Structure 1
Amino acid sequence: MSNYALRVPDFLMKTARSIAKKERTSVNQLFVTAIAEKLSALQTADLLQEKAALALEEDYFNVLAQVSSQEPLAQDKKDV
């Protein structure tokens, strides 16, 4: 495990302490979890962009053509 000295603005530290206390965890664990979540989100976005770049418009329309033109079931309709 590595160490990294992190300078955190006072308002963020105050919020982090408050949330860590509420979640019954350490500020360190809160920061590690937040960093892991952000890195995961960035990697997922990159992966989706890579996959989208490989997609063919023709395949997209072929899949859409297979979708039924029936009305959705009542329980599947969005209440407006």
Structure 2
Amino acid sequence: MSTLSVRLPDSVHRKLKEMARKEGVSMNQLISLAVAEKLSSLLTVEYLEDRAKKASPEAFKRLLEKVPDVEPEDYDTL
């Protein structure tokens, strides 16, 4: 595990302390979770952008041509 010193504005530090207390976790745990969630989000965007670059518009059009041209069922009747 690594140690990292971070400077936070006082207002962010106060909210962090408050939220950690409400969640019943340490500030370190809350920060670790927040960073992990943000990284996950950024990595997902990166993954989807990479997939989009490899996409074939022609293959997508061929796939769409296989979709039947019918009205969707009304969910209220299901």
Instruction: Supply the distance in 1 between the matched residues of 2:6 and 2:31 (Cα, whole angstroms).
Output: 10
Residue 58 of structure 1 corresponds to 58
| C-alpha distance after superposition, 1:46-65 (max 9, x if no partner) | 11111100001001111111
Greater than 3 Å deviation, 4+ residue runs? none
CA deviation after TM superposition for structure 1 residue 13, in Å: 1.0
Unaligned residue ranges in structure 1 (runs of 5+)? none
Q: Distance in 1 between matches of 2:14 and 2:73?
A: 49
Task: Name the CA distance, whole Å, in 2 between partners of 1:59 and 1:68.
Answer: 17
The number of residue pairs the alignment matches comes to: 76
Residue 8 (str. 1) matches residue 12 (str. 2) = no
Cα distance in 2 for residues equivalent to 1:23 and 1:57: 46
The TM-score normalised by the length of structure 1 is 0.87
| TM-score normalised by L of structure 2 | 0.89
